[in-house]
A and B are shown apart, each in its own frame.
Chain A
Amino acid sequence: MTRARRRRAALLVLAAGLVVAVWLSLAVGSRQVPVGAVVDALASALRGGSAPVGTDASVVVDQRLPRTVLGLAAGAALGVSGALVQAVTRNPLADPGILGVTAGASFAAAVAVGVLGASATGGGVWAALLGALLATVLVQLVGASAPGSGGRGSPVQLLLAGLALGAVLAGLTSALRLSDPRAFSALVVWESGNLADRGWAGLEAVWPLLAAGLVVALALAPALNAVALGDDLAQALGARVWLVRVAAVGAVALLAGGATAAAGPIAFVGLVVPHVVRWAVGPDQRWLVACCAFAAPVLLLLADVVGRVVLRPGELPAGVVTAALGAPVLVALVRRQRVPAP
């Protein structure tokens, strides 16, 4: 199959997968809703009618619709940010979570909600975003300022810096929580990394940031193609490597930070999706970024649906399911490829 055909096939599969995932996300749960009823409910909501509480239509529109849209937005953001991180660090195993983004978001949200008394959906979201930005910058600085790296930071140093900062922040977060469990109970739901019961509030706060991040990511894609060839060659091709890198890191913080702020820490989506997509469409960043924006929501929505089904009548957070689904892919990757020691 030629690459062009492969890409078209991948797009078709992704589009079909997205439709199925959205439908499952709207229809499956403790109350099973048939397709016709789902469509009716959405149509009547579009016309502005609100369904009476407790009916199929109300469950679909008031509970599952925001959940599904959040899954779409957060999934797309995580997938694209994963593609960016892997391109910038030239490390096939990089993941926004590993680079300290999620830990920074969690810590800042914990401080804002637990110590300062912000609400988990209002001020907490902004704090989480700020924390993600700060942690990302800090990891980059530590990784880059390490001696012997020429001020750029090798992938290994970046990963280690992310691991280290992530550990510090996670530890401080749990210390805060343990010292005052009652003040932090509001965070438990957020920290579990799921799409349930969040309504529209979190998404309303972060969608402009996610949109900005996506635009930057798409705009950067050609330059990232050059950077992937190595700094010297990229420079020779006219790419301003330093600028590209800063812009990409900023986009990662916006995307991963925004997604984490809205949905809580969700692991492995940013790591796994770019790999699967790269296998399908090849290394061209323009295709990679675009396809990740579609593939990652499929994974996240399916994980969310699985989480609703396996622990009935309770629910397993989507973040837990993505970890369980994503880790085997990681193992398969590292077994299949000869991943070079960076």
Chain B
Amino acid sequence: MSAPTALKGGRLPLVGLRVHRRPLVVGLLVAAACAALAVIALGTGDYPLTPAQVLTAALDPGAGFERTIVLEWRLPRVLAALAFGAALGASGAVFQSLTRNPLGSPDVIGFSTGAYTGALLSLTVLTGASASFSATTGSATGSTGGGVSTTVGALAGGMLTAAAVYALARVHGSVQGYRLVVVGIAATAVLHAANTYLLLRAQTEVAMAGAVWGAGSLSLVGWDDLRWALAVLVVLLPLLALLSTALRQLELGDDAAGAHGVPVERARLALVVVGVALVSVVTASTGPIAFVALAAPQVARLAMRGAGLPLTGSALVGSLLLLSADQVAQRFASGVPVGVVTVVGGGVYLLVLLLVRGRPRGRGAV
């Protein structure tokens, strides 16, 4: 509906190599806020520590018990929040750019739900998997997905959902953002139904663990679960950085991108694969966490005032959002899963945005 905004402000993304001051300053500020919040998060809990104590404990090998608390108990969760938030934010930026639609985020178009379905399938259907599930997830309180089979299941589920949504939204060789969102909402509904079916059919223990996990929680992320996810993210995020130029070009439209030598279809496919993989890894580890992928790119765009959706900025804002949400979940919400907090916070954010600005400004209309 609205004109392409790529040219707004007279800056072509093509010459975006010039470093603009505002994005850099905002990016550094957000990163600093992440670091500060991380120190605070490492210091809070049943055994409170001051920021100074946290830093000593982290840096001094002789710090003893406090070092165990900080590095073994709390660091995995904080790292998970930072890394998963970045992954969600970056993935959201990729899909919102590709669909040119502020609602085109992976959680709205069904990829998170699909990844959850894949993980549930691998838990409940594959033989022996349920046993390893209860083993990796530990005892009653809740669970992280963990486990290789769950991760593979989530990846496959996310990918298949993406392929199906993309294929169904494709009419006469073109995918319109609006159609993609509607197909995605439909896919989410079907997958949600499938998830309910799987949970009702499963054995009680598996179903309960799966249901808690379904709310999206960081509560039991330990080093064992995290190592896998971090290894994948360490590969994926730089890969995305390599693809970012192509993404900027695609924002100008397929024709323009093609004219600048971007292999349009291949670039888009690569971006979709990386974007889905990012979301799937997070979902496999924590369960679906909503709204971070939706909100982070828009917040980053708002703060940085750039033309497109900034990838690095979205990742940083995603980290900050998820870490803050997890702190809220732990401190003020009596330990509810972080996914609940992000849903509430994201919804309020959307409402405020609607009241203040009419609708989230994005590339093109809904």
Contact = CB atoms under 8 A, between A and B. Distances in A.
Interface of A: 93, 142-143, 145-149, 156-157, 159-161, 163-172, 174-175, 178-179, 192, 267-268, 311, 314, 316-317, 320-321, 323-324, 326-328, 330-331, 334-335, 339, 341-342
B337 interface: yes
B189 A316 contact: no
A161 B351 contact: yes
A160 B337 contact: no
Nearest to A161: B354
Interface in B157-206: 168-169, 171, 178-179, 182-183, 185-187, 189-190, 192-194, 196-197, 200-201
Interface in B204-263: 215
A160 B350 contact: yes
Given A159-B366, A174-B215, A316-B200, A167 B290 contact: yes
Contacts of A314: 200-201
B189 A160 contact: no
A299 to B, nearest CB: 15
Contacts of A174: 215, 336, 340, 343
Closest 10 CB pairs of A and B: A168-B347, A167-B347, A164-B350, A171-B343, A171-B344, A327-B186, A324-B193, A330-B186, A323-B189, A320-B193
Given A146-B354, A179-B336, A328-B186, A311 B344 contact: no
A21 B359 CA distance: 43
Contacts of B194: 324
B120 to A, nearest CB: 14
Interface class of chain A by DSSP: helix
Contact of A142 (B187, B192, B354): B354
Given A323-B193, A330-B185, A331-B168, A156 B351 contact: no
Nearest to A173: B340
Interface in B312-366: 333-334, 336-337, 340-341, 343-344, 346-351, 354-360, 364-366
A145 B355 contact: yes
B179 to A, nearest CB: 5
B291 interface: yes
10 contacts: A142-B355, A146-B359, A168-B351, A172-B344, A175-B340, A179-B334, A316-B200, A327-B189, A334-B179, A335-B168
A323 B185 CA distance: 11
B126 interface: no
Contacts of A268: 189
Contacts of A145: 355
A62 B64 CA distance: 68
Nearest to B142: A178
B1 interface: yes
A156 B171 CA distance: 23
A171 B341 contact: yes
Nearest to A174: B340
B179 A311 contact: no
A160 B354 contact: yes
Contacts of B358: 146-149, 157
Given A335-B168, A335-B179, A341-B365, A175 B344 contact: yes
Contacts of B182: 93, 330-331, 334, 339
Given A327-B186, A328-B190, A142 B351 contact: yes
Contacts of B183: 330-331, 334-335
B52 to A, nearest CB: 34
Contacts of B346: 164, 167
Contact of A178 (B187, B200, B340, B347): B340
Contacts of B349: 164
Contacts of B348: 164, 168
A329 B323 CA distance: 39
Contacts of B344: 167-168, 171-172, 175
Nearest to A159: B366
Nearest to A163: B350
Interface centre among A148, A167, A172, A335 (most CB of B within 10 A): A167
Contacts of A311: 197, 200-201
Nearest to A339: B178
Contact of A326 (B168, B189, B197): B189
Contact of B365 (A146, A156, A163, A171): A156
A197 to B, nearest CB: 15
Nearest to B185: A330
Given A164-B347, A167-B290, A341-B364, 11 more contacts: A161-B351, A164-B351, A166-B347, A178-B215, A179-B334, A321-B193, A324-B193, A324-B194, A330-B183, A331-B182, A342-B366
Contacts of A341: 1, 178, 364-366
B304 to A, nearest CB: 23
